[in-house]
Amino acid sequence: HSTWWSRSPGKSGSHFHPSSDLFQPNEKKDIVTSTTCWLAMAGLLAGLTVVMGPLQILKLYAVPYWIFVMWLDFVTYLHHHGHNDKLPWYRGKAWSYLRGGLTTLDRDYGWLNKIHHDIGTHVIHHLFPQIPHYHLVEATEAAKPVLGKYYREPDKSGPFPFHLFGALARSMKSDHYVSDTGDIIYYQTDPKLAAGAHTSD
């Protein structure tokens, strides 16, 4: 069964355990450090909850943290979903690093681009993760002529990226699952989920 300390069903290992098969032997110290810091933070929050009260910790830590995580999930999701053309998933021999990188999307966040360290330039980040954020826009512009039709130009944003909520809604209505078989597959729609989405409109 899956617990908080383990991975999703069907996968072994733990992100907290230094001997997990997720990590190389030379990463053991890093995992010990990471897990120790995580436990220290959990202890600090527990202590502050006792001293300051749960309502203060909820207001000062939990709510801002939830907002951050929701926005991070929103941004991450939309770099991999919600395009008008369905993006393929590759498996087995059909997969390559280049193919995987090219099935991500760039997004325009308007005034938020700089706050995001230009991570809206997500394709070049996937292809060359070593490029620092302050060169991502420049690198993307240089790569566009080389990528040609494989680059999907993002929709332009106003000052705030309200247009992305439409892309999210469209994807949530149709991108429900991928087949367990096949090397090049696309998101498919679960009729029951789609029907539920239409009745709630």
**Segment 116-128, tens digit of pLDDT:** 899 899 999 999 9
> Of 141, 21, 150, 33, which Cα lies nearest the Cα of 85?
150
**pLDDT at position 138, please?**
97
Distance CA 126, CA 107 (A): 14
Mean pLDDT of 121-147: 95
CA torsion 26→32→34→36, rounded to 10°? -170
Average pLDDT, stretch 111-119?
Answer: 90
* pLDDT score for 194: 72
- Which residue is listed with tokens 């709510």? 63
pTM: 0.76
CA pair distance 107, 121, nearest whole angstrom: 7
Give residue-wise pLDDT tens across range 82-102.
888 888 989 999 999 999 999
Checking if the pLDDT of 198 tops 80, the result is no
Give the separation between CA 179 and CA 141, rounded to whole angstroms.
35
What pLDDT band is residue 137 in, cutting at 50, 70 and 90?
very high
**Average predicted confidence (pLDDT) for the chain:** 89
* Residue type, position 144, single letter: K
